[in-house]
């Protein structure tokens, strides 16, 4: 096999060395347009996982790197002059230049041909003359651009400018330093990579960069000014550059990583923000996987398919974490007012990969200090601290999220609802929410939806509320009121979600006459008189809900249902006073909110669920969501339940663990209103992390409570918590410890033989 590698960075060089080591008969050529000692970074951080893979695949490279490593355990965060240290993290770094030298030496010893200061021939020509072409030509990959139709790249440019520099001394930790200047907030990321050298990255928002005059400054002036801004962190020492220029980070994603015998590797295929130290790590891991797949698969095509299949989910997970970290630093200004310990915890957990439980294992002293500052009583996890909304005090921060059950008859909740909601109330959550309860027959999603438009329905709900209050004291129960709008008259979820009924349809109404999909019914645009009628239906349902004894009421203004349909510009095309600008689109939902609030008891809280983004071009944005939340808060909303999407059928959500939390986080800090966050929160560790970091006040979980109605009780048991934030129902107390499932230990050897 003849292999051409375009690009002599760590990923390309390591791929070349591995392939040659595995099969010395391979002819491998590396083309690098720069000189051997050219490098545009300073230090490289690698994880123990990556180092383990290198050690297993090529001990010679590992030993050479090991001899150069600088290792440390601490992360320091300096916020408003206060320094907090978290230990137990375990980093290893070395100079990028030295890493390249090690890889050059290894390639030479194995017989790889390295061509420096040599532009590679065109990818098309290489593809004709080599069996395999590895494009490791970086973020600005010419190979990727030459075959853009095949690779289908997407490059997203972000909001911060950064400058990659070095200092001629070694930090004793990974250092994050925040500087609040007259022009705005700036941050320093620093870490040692040699006994006498550190990488220093200075980063700030584009508007801060311009206001500070860096757009007009030359390289030397920028370096000197950065050293002055962060003089305390640097101990007054200077910074140095290496052809350093201010740049914006670009996230690269490709739909395909190979085309024929061309394959992308490292930054050519994907990028992840430097704040989680992943660029070189990902490239080296790509090389390891590509080499392994070429050994294991029967053909080149199979190998490239296997390489992408194995690496894509790993890279996607890393990119999600990197995106969360990147956006946290972009929005750093939101968190400056946090208490310093909480700010430090928030920074450490920003990517969602480091969690509360993980930090407690690494550094229990640091985590304990954060918990005490937050107000956690001794031995109390953050999720089991109380939270007050108006006259209601929730004993813990767990909410059973509203989940449509589609099991009512004529809108009347039955035994199923009693058992479903009763079981989850017994399961320990602080607040259990009903499904969306419809305010009229026309406002149902499906024939199986529950309602609250009749006395019979109210009496059935009263039965559920009485059970919760009597049998699960300490658990609150809330009702969510809504109207389906254009998403009504559809089949039960398990018969075909959002699919129109084959018979028995009812007419639909909406902000504008736009069907949810071409298959769905076209709704009628609501007239002014009909808007008044619907507003009265909401207030009537709220009046009944109050007499049922519900502790909290939530107005459903999300997921494309009627009130959400008014808020989104994609579903509201009206030309009257209820359409057009966001202020006008808010008008009817706010009228409904005011009508409901006027009949809902003053001492009981009222929340609003919104879709913070439509995940679609031209739809509601995160900035709009802040203003929507601000408007509802001004009208008396006690909290905003922040969801996303489901407004239009052609949405493109960015799914991932707790992926909707950043929207809630932003609303909480910009509006100053309590928030409930939802979306792929699956573990009690996630709940503790989000609460303690100040990103949310309450966490609503849906699927975990379908899997385990006693999710909150089990979370307490697994954490060894037995305080007032949760209690086992008396008949269940014997089950408060996990049952034994079998023998946990193995027989000890009876004899030990000496060697």
Element of type H or E holding 23: none
What would the mean pLDDT of 334-358 be, rounded to a whole number? 95
Confidence grade of residue 744 (pLDDT, cut at 50, 70, 90): low
Tell me the two tokens of residue 589.
């939902």
CA 39, 11, 45 angle in degrees (round to 5)?
70
The predicted-structure confidence for 275-323, as pLDDT tens digits, reads as follows 987 788 899 999 999 999 999 999 999 999 999 999 999 999 999 999 9
The predicted-structure confidence for 619-677, as pLDDT tens digits, reads as follows 999 999 999 999 999 999 999 999 999 999 999 998 888 889 999 999 999 999 999 99
> Which range is least confidently modeled, 64-73, 532-541, 606-615?
64-73
What would the mean pLDDT of 544-567 be, rounded to a whole number? 98
The predicted-structure confidence for 11-41, as pLDDT tens digits, reads as follows 999 999 999 999 999 999 999 998 887 776 7
Q: Say whether pLDDT at 136 is over 80.
A: yes
* Residue 747: per-residue pLDDT: 61
Confidence grade of residue 748 (pLDDT, cut at 50, 70, 90): low
* Residue 743: per-residue pLDDT: 59
Q: Which backbone phi and psi does 124 adopt, to 5 degrees?
A: -65, -45
Mean pLDDT of the chain: 94
Instruction: Quote the percentage of the chain above a pLDDT of 70.
Output: 98
The predicted-structure confidence for 235-256, as pLDDT tens digits, reads as follows 999 999 988 899 999 999 999 9
Q: Say whether pLDDT at 529 is over 50.
A: yes
Q: Which backbone phi and psi does 478 adopt, to 5 degrees?
A: -120, 155
CA distance linking residue 538 with residue 677, whole number of Å? 25
Are 114 and 32 contacting, i.e. CB atoms less than 8 angstroms apart? yes
CA distance linking residue 155 with residue 312, whole number of Å? 17
Question: Residue 561 catalytic?
Answer: yes
Tell me the two tokens of residue 352.
């969602």
Nearest to residue 61, comparing CAs of 94, 12, 103, 22? 103
CA distance linking residue 67 with residue 356, whole number of Å? 33
* Residue 346: per-residue pLDDT: 97
What would the mean pLDDT of 688-709 be, rounded to a whole number? 96
Catalytic annotation, pick one of 130, 406, 561, 659: 561
Determine the longest span between alpha carbons in the chain, in angstroms.
94
* Residue 708: per-residue pLDDT: 96
CA distance linking residue 640 with residue 631, whole number of Å? 11
* Domains of the chain: residue spans and CATH: 2-331 (3.50.50.60), 402-680 (3.20.20.70)
Confidence grade of residue 53 (pLDDT, cut at 50, 70, 90): confident
CA distance linking residue 581 with residue 159, whole number of Å? 26
Find how far residue 637's CA is from the centre of its chain: 26
* Residue 47: per-residue pLDDT: 73
Global pTM exceeds 0.85 = yes
Confidence grade of residue 90 (pLDDT, cut at 50, 70, 90): confident
CA distance linking residue 11 with residue 203, whole number of Å? 26
Per the listing, tokens 């939390």 go with 661
* Residue 738: per-residue pLDDT: 77
What would the mean pLDDT of 49-76 be, rounded to a whole number? 87
The predicted-structure confidence for 194-217, as pLDDT tens digits, reads as follows 999 999 999 999 999 999 999 999
CA distance linking residue 407 with residue 447, whole number of Å? 9
């Amino acid at each position: 096999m003849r292999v051409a590698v375009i690009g002599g960075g760590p990923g390309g060089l390591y791929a070349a060395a591995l392939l040659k080591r595995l099969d010395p008969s391979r002819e491998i050529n590396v083309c690098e347009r720069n000189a051997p000692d050219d490098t545009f970074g300073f230090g490289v951080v690698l994880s123990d996982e990556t180092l383990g893979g290198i050690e297993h695949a090529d001990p010679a490279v590992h030993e050479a790197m090991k001899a150069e490593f600088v290792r440390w355990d601490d992360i320091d965060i300096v916020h408003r002059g206060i320094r907090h240290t978290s230990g137990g993290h375990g980093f290893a770094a070395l100079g990028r230049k030295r890493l390249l030298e090690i890889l050059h030496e290894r390639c030479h010893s194995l017989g790889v041909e390295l061509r420096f200061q040599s532009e590679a021939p065109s990818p098309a020509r290489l593809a004709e003359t080599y069996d395999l072409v590895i494009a490791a030509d970086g973020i600005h990959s010419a190979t990727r651009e030459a075959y853009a139709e095949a690779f289908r790249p997407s490059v997203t440019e972000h909001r911060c400018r950064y400058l990659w520099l070095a200092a001629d001394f070694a930090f004793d930790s990974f250092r994050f330093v925040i500087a609040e200047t007259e022009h705005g907030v700036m941050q320093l990321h620093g870490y040692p990579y040699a006994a006498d050298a550190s990488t220093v990255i200075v980063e700030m928002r584009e508007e801060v960069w311009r206001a500070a005059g860096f757009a007009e400054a030359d390289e030397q002036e920028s370096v000197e000014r950065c050293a002055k801004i962060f003089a305390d962190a640097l101990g007054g020492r200077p910074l140095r550059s290496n052809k350093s220029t201010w740049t914006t980070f670009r996230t690269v994603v490709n739909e395909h990583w190979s085309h024929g015998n061309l394959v992308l590797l490292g930054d050519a295929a994907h990028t992840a923000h430097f704040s989680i130290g992943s660029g070189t790590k990902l490239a080296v891991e790509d090389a390891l996987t590509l080499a392994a797949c070429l050994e294991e698969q029967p053909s080149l095509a199979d190998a490239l398919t296997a390489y992408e299949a194995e690496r894509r989910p790993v890279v996607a997970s890393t990119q999600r974490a990197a995106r969360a970290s990147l956006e946290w630093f972009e929005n750093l200004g939101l968190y400056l007012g946090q208490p310093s310990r909480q700010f430090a915890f928030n920074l450490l957990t920003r990517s969602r990969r480091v969690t509360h439980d993980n930090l407690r294992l690494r550094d229990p002293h640091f985590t304990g200090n954060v918990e005490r500052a937050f107000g956690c009583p001794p031995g109390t996890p953050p999720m089991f601290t109380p939270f007050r909304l108006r006259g209601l005090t929730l004993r813990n921060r767990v909410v059973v999220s509203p989940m449509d059950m589609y099991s009512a008859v004529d809108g009347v909740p039955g035994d199923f609802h009693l058992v479903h909601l009763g079981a989850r109330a017994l399961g320990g959550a602080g607040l259990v929410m009903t499904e969306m309860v419809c305010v009229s027959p026309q406002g149902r999603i499906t024939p199986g939806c529950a309602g609250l438009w009749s006395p019979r329905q109210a009496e059935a709900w009263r039965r559920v509320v009485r059970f919760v209050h009597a049998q699960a004291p300490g658990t609150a129960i809330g009702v969510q009121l809504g109207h389906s709008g254009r998403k009504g008259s559809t089949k039960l979820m398990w018969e075909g979600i959002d699919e129109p009924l084959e018979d028995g349809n009812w007419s639909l109404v909406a902000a504008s006459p736009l069907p949810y999909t071409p298959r769905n019914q076209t709704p009628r645009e609501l007239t002014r008189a009909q808007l008044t009628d619907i507003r009265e239906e909401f207030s009537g349902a709220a009046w009944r809900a109050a007499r049922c004894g519900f502790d909290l009421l939530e107005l459903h203004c999300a997921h494309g249902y009627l009130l959400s349909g008014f808020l989104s510009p994609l579903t509201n095309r009206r030309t009257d006073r209820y359409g057009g600008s966001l202020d006008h689109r808010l008008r009817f939902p706010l009228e409904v909110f005011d009508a409901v609030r006027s009949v809902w008891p003053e001492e009981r809280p009222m929340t609003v669920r919104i879709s913070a983004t439509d995940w679609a071009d031209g739809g509601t944005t995160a900035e709009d969501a802040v203003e929507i939340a601000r408007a509802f808060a001004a009208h008396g909303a006690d909290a905003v339940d922040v969801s996303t999407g489901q407004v239009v059928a052609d949405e493109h959500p960015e799914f991932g663990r707790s992926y909707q939390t950043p929207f809630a986080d932003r609303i909480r800090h910009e509006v100053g209103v309590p928030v409930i966050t939802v979306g792929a929160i699956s573990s009690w560790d996630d709940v503790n992390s989000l609460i303690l970091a100040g990103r949310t006040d309450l966490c609503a979980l849906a699927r975990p409570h379908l899997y385990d109605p006693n999710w909150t009780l089990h979370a307490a048991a697994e954490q060894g918590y037995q305080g007032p934030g949760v209690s086992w129902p008396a008949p269940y107390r014997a089950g408060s410890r996990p049952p034994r499932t079998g023998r946990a230990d193995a027989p000890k050897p009876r004899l030990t033989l000496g060697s």
